Structures are given as structure tokens and as C-alpha cells.
């Protein structure tokens, strides 16, 4: 632990003290002239995963910085980027967001903010529309299905079955998606959303994919939709997009951290969603 913090402190030129550890990133505290700040640094700079291939976390940080800048410019509450570095170690220094631990998420407001995020149409390095949204999702699902088939029974022909339905969403796949809007990443203070944090999963794509993931987190309620607006919720597409999340959680709950309950729940959900797809 000391070597990691010492290396990070030397890179930043200021003392760092330990705070929290996530699956992929450390979150540590740094004192600045304006108070505490949070420095996020990857646990491993580059790692090969069964579900996403090789992940370069320096690249992820560069993408986070771009996404946070776009969201801040749109008036969406996010931490301020105080500095960042892509290297070994890579890191990003963010303003600390005061919030109430465990506070209930105001879902109507979350719906409004999610719609505002989806109103951003990025075209910057690391955040551009995919040349083929259908191809991207088909390949991503294929890799995640292959990884998850070690843990649950899934149809062999699913990748081919989703292509036609995805093709109907090509023109919609131009929005910024946060892709991890769950209570742990929504800072709430005095009943309001103080900030959306942790944009490491963000991509440019179809807003329905975000809504499918939000449904997987149990937040796609009537109150959320009252804030978001009235999207055309294609049930089969929501199932397809939520399946992406269920497959991911099925695998990481075994391969990256040990959570047998989450693994059983998500393996069952993945099997159910795959069986429902036409």
C-alpha cells in the first residue's frame, strides 16, 4: 500500500492518503488549498478481461476527463477536474463532493439529468459515435456471452438474432451515455442530486441502452420516467440492453470480486432475458 501511495504522491507532487478501493480504481484523498480532493488511479494500468478484452485504464481516464468536461459545460452537476495524467501511474484529480451517505436518490431529478446527459452529442477523441452501432453491440454481446456461458445456460444463436433489431437504432446511437447510474455513483445532499460521479463506463450510443442498464439497477420507475420524458420503450430492446449488464455482472462477480449472491441473481437474470428475446 505504501509503495503505491508513495509512487502516486511523487507523480502528483503532493501527499496522498488512502480512502476507498473499487473493483478497477483506487480513490484516495489529497489536500488542496481549497480543501480535500479525490484522486482516482487504476489498480492495474492495462488488464485483459474475458468480457471486454484488453482495457487500458489510462485511456479510460482520458475519456472520463472529456466526458466530465462535456457534462459540466451542459450544466450537469459533476466533479471538477483539477488535474490528470496518463502514464504509469495514470490518475485524475477531482473535486470532493459533499453528500449524505446512503441518502435516497430523487428519481425524478435523476430522470431529468439523464435526459440532459443524453442531449450531449460528443465527437471528441475517445467519445465518438461508433462506425456501426449494430456491429459494436453484436461484438460486445458476443464476447460477454462467451464469458458468461461458463456460468449459465444461454442460447448459442443469440448474436445473430439481435442484429435486425439493433439496426433500427443506428440513427439514435449518438448520445453520451453515463452507463453506471446507480446509487453509489449519484451523490445526494439535502435531497438534491449534488453530482453524478464515476463516468469510467461512458460511451456514445443509444439512450435506450442506458435505460436498460438503469432498469437493471431497479431505478427505471414511473418517477424516473416522469423526469426523463416519454421515451418509446421497446421492451425487446430494453431486454437486450439490460442483458449486456446482466452478463457483465455475472462474470465480474466471480472473476473480479467474490459476491455469490450477486452472481446467482445476475446469472438467473441473464438466462431469463436471453430466453425472452425474439
The mean predicted confidence, pLDDT, of the chain is 94
Return the CATH architecture of domain 100-278: Alpha-Beta Complex (3.90)
How would residue 238 be classed by pLDDT, with cut points 50, 70 and 90? Answer: very high
Supply the CATH classification number for the domain 1-96.
3.30.200.20
Tell me what pLDDT residue 1 has: 60
In whole angstroms, give the CA distance from residue 96 to residue 27. Answer: 11
Q: Which of 138-142, 176-180, 222-226 bottoms out in mean pLDDT, i.e. has the lowest?
A: 138-142
Tell me what pLDDT residue 161 has: 75
| Nearest alpha-carbon partner for 118 in 215, 202, 194 | 202
Tell me what pLDDT residue 173 has: 97
Tell me what pLDDT residue 160 has: 73
Percent of the chain exceeding pLDDT 90 equals 87
How would residue 278 be classed by pLDDT, with cut points 50, 70 and 90? Answer: confident
| Nearest alpha-carbon partner for 70 in 126, 115, 117 | 117
* pTM recorded for the entire structure: 0.96
- Domain boundaries along the sequence of the chain: 1-96, 100-278
| Nearest alpha-carbon partner for 69 in 90, 94, 34, 37 | 94
pLDDT for 2 beyond 80? no
Per-residue pLDDT tens digits for 48-84: 999 999 999 999 999 999 999 999 999 999 999 999 9
> Mean pLDDT throughout 110-117?
98
> Mean pLDDT throughout 121-125?
94
Q: Dmax of the chain from CA atoms? A: 57
Amino acid at each position: 500500500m505504501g509503495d503505491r501511495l508513495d509512487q502516486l504522491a511523487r507523480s502528483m507532487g503532493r501527499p496522498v492518503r488512502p480512502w476507498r478501493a473499487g473493483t478497477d480504481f483506487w480513490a484516495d484523498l489529497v489536500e488542496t488549498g481549497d480543501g480535500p480532493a479525490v484522486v482516482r488511479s487504476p489498480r492495474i494500468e492495462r488488464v485483459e478481461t474475458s468480457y471486454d478484452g484488453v482495457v487500458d485504464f489510462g485511456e479510460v481516464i482520458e475519456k472520463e476527463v472529456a466526458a466530465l468536461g462535456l457534462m459540466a459545460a451542459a450544466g450537469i452537476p459533476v466533479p471538477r477536474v483539477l488535474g490528470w495524467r496518463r502514464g504509469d501511474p495514470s490518475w485524475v484529480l477531482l473535486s470532493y463532493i459533499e453528500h449524505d451517505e446512503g441518502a435516497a436518490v430523487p428519481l425524478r431529478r435523476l430522470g431529468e439529468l439523464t435526459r440532459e446527459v443524453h442531449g450531449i452529442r460528443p465527437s471528441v477523441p475517445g467519445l465518438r459515435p461508433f462506425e456501426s452501432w449494430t456491429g459494436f453491440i453484436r461484438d460486445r454481446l458476443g464476447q460477454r456471452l462467451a464469458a458468461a456461458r461458463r456460468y449459465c445456460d444461454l442460447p448459442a444463436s443469440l448474436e445473430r438474432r439481435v442484429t435486425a433489431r439493433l439496426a433500427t437504432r443506428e440513427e439514435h446511437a449518438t448520445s453520451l451515455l453515463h452507463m453506471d447510474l446507480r446509487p453509489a455513483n449519484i451523490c445526494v445532499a439535502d435531497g438534491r442530486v449534488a453530482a453524478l460521479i464515476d463516468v469510467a463506463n461512458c460511451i456514445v450510443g443509444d439512450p435506450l441502452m442506458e435505460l436498460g442498464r438503469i432498469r437493471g439497477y431497479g431505478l427505471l420507475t414511473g418517477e424516473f420516467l416522469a423526469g426523463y420524458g416519454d421515451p418509446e420503450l421497446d421492451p425487446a430492446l430494453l431486454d437486450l440492453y439490460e442483458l449486456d449488464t446482466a452478463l457483465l455482472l455475472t462474470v465480474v462477480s466471480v472473476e473480479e470480486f467474490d459476491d455469490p449472491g450477486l452472481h446467482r441473481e445476475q446469472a438467473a437474470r441473464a438466462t431469463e432475458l436471453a430466453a425472452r428475446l425474439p
